[in-house]
Amino acid sequence: MRSQLHFDAVVIGGGMAGLTAGTRLAQSGAKVAVLAKGHGSTHLSPGTIDVLGYTPGRVTSPEDSLARLISERPDHPYALVGADAVSESLQWFADCAANGPLPSYGYVGGLERNLLLPTAMGVLRPSAMVPSTMAGGNASGLGTVAIVSVPALREFHPTLCAANLTAAGIESRGITLHIEVERADMNPVGMARRFEDPKWRGHFCAQLLPQLRTEEHIGMPAMLGMRDPAAVVGDLERRLGRKVFEIATLPPSVPGMRRYEILRSALRAAGGRLALGADVISHERSNGRVTSVATHAAGRDLTYLADWFVLASGGFASGAIELDSHWVTHERVLGLPLRGVPETGSPRFEREYLSDQPLAAAGVAVDGELRAGGTDNVFVAGASLPGATPWREGSGEGIALASGYRAAAVIAGGLRTEESVTS
């Protein structure tokens, strides 16, 4: 027989939204389990907190544009959670980072004004809050820039990045430092481990210094240490005598993994439990309530009973929402009804890749409290929500944080009510 575990709340999904919801619930005193099939988009995304980047013109102040978006698009996740949840959750996350496991590695910025950080293409991309090691790349503070990488890192082309930055008005040049590593291919995670070694940093800086001009800022792929990036960047700045900042790379994303560590550690500190490799394979319902979910994991299958559930399992990217070969769309974890799916016969996709894709904004139908349609006790957060196209809007982390935060708040309110009834 399956083992059974009892929780106040179970969160399905271990990405940004799920970890936020789980941590907030744990912090409110609930007994919480976060069930993660695998590592989510945290390991893929640039590590920045994007709240609102494009509407579709580039957003200068997320705060102002958010207010407009909330009034104009009542179906957007931000309209459901409200502006307060956005600002509160950002502050909450900044506190998590400040008190987190990475010394002196904080998040800077806020809702007043987007920072513009170069991407690996050299495009200036708007983010509301960014890791302190990346903030030096903010366009408004940049003079001339040297973009530096090593040939072993396929995911980063300094000259291409510099050419686009220059085209965007920031005088830049690329430096490919021909420095030996033992493999022809290195990914940013492997390089990050390398940069944790002071001897390597010394070697690297000795090679780089003669190529640098005075007054240059140094932009490097985000690979400057995993456990203590602030110290790594500080040491490089000391050795080079110049400002150093990180630029997000293609996955795997080192700053994304750091962000995951910040949230995971916050969850643990609050007493929440994280089960990795826990794929939800079935669930039980009674009337309008989900009563339990079962996971299939290495070792043994488990049943999690809970009063409340948060579905933060992601959208099409994670596979939690699926379009099958008969062109029918399903929510695969709990079989919840969807919203925003194009009707049969109307296009799911447009011919031009960069067009708005009709299917993209589909998600789990929810009410104004993020409660999933047809259920009393399932709340939805993050990319599972309909109405947004995060990668186009530059809104992924903002939605994940605010909706995870909000879902937890609604549930915590319910828990308090139950307590007052039973006591």
What residues make contact with another protein under the rule CB under 8 A? 41, 44-46, 54, 56-58, 60, 119-125, 151-152, 154-157, 159-160, 163-164, 166-169, 182-185, 248-251, 253, 315-319, 322-327, 348-355, 360, 390-392, 394, 396
Distance in Å, CB of 150 to another protein, minimum: 11
Are residues 91 and 84 in contact, defined by beta-carbon separation less than 8 angstroms? no
Distance in Å, CB of 63 to another protein, minimum: 17
Alpha carbon distance 110, 44 (integer Å): 22
Neighbours of 68 (CB within 10 A): 12
Distance in Å, CB of 280 to another protein, minimum: 17
Neighbours of 363 (CB within 10 A): 26
Give the relative orientation of helices 83-98 and 254-269 as an angle to the nearest 10 degrees. Answer: 90
Choose between 247 and 302: whose C-beta lies nearer to another protein: 247
Are residues 394 and 65 in contact, defined by beta-carbon separation less than 8 angstroms? no
Query: 3-state class of 319 per DSSP?
Result: coil
Distance in Å, CB of 64 to another protein, minimum: 14
Alpha carbon distance 259, 364 (integer Å): 26
Alpha carbon distance 179, 289 (integer Å): 59
* Residue 304 one-letter amino acid: Y
Alpha carbon distance 164, 179 (integer Å): 25
Choose between 51 and 240: whose C-beta lies nearer to another protein: 51
Are residues 219 and 149 in contact, defined by beta-carbon separation less than 8 angstroms? no
Choose between 24 and 125: whose C-beta lies nearer to another protein: 125
Distance in Å, CB of 261 to another protein, minimum: 19
Choose between 32 and 220: whose C-beta lies nearer to another protein: 220
* Residue 88 one-letter amino acid: E
Q: Which residues pair with 126 in a beta bridge?
A: 116
320 Cβ neighbours under 8 A, 6+ residues apart = 13, 311, 313, 314, 331, 332, 333, 384
Distance in Å, CB of 11 to another protein, minimum: 21
Distance in Å, CB of 185 to another protein, minimum: 5
Choose between 53 and 414: whose C-beta lies nearer to another protein: 53
Neighbours of 422 (CB within 10 A): 6
* Half-sphere CA count of 285, side-chain side, radius 13 A: 13
Distance in Å, CB of 369 to another protein, minimum: 27
H helix or E strand, kind and range, residue 89 = helix 83-98
Distance in Å, CB of 184 to another protein, minimum: 5
Choose between 53 and 272: whose C-beta lies nearer to another protein: 53
Choose between 119 and 265: whose C-beta lies nearer to another protein: 119
Choose between 83 and 163: whose C-beta lies nearer to another protein: 163
Are residues 95 and 107 in contact, defined by beta-carbon separation less than 8 angstroms? no
Distance in Å, CB of 125 to another protein, minimum: 4
Choose between 98 and 323: whose C-beta lies nearer to another protein: 323
Choose between 132 and 318: whose C-beta lies nearer to another protein: 318
What residue has token string 């792929």? 221
E strands, 197-288, in order: 217-221, 244-247, 273-276, 279-286
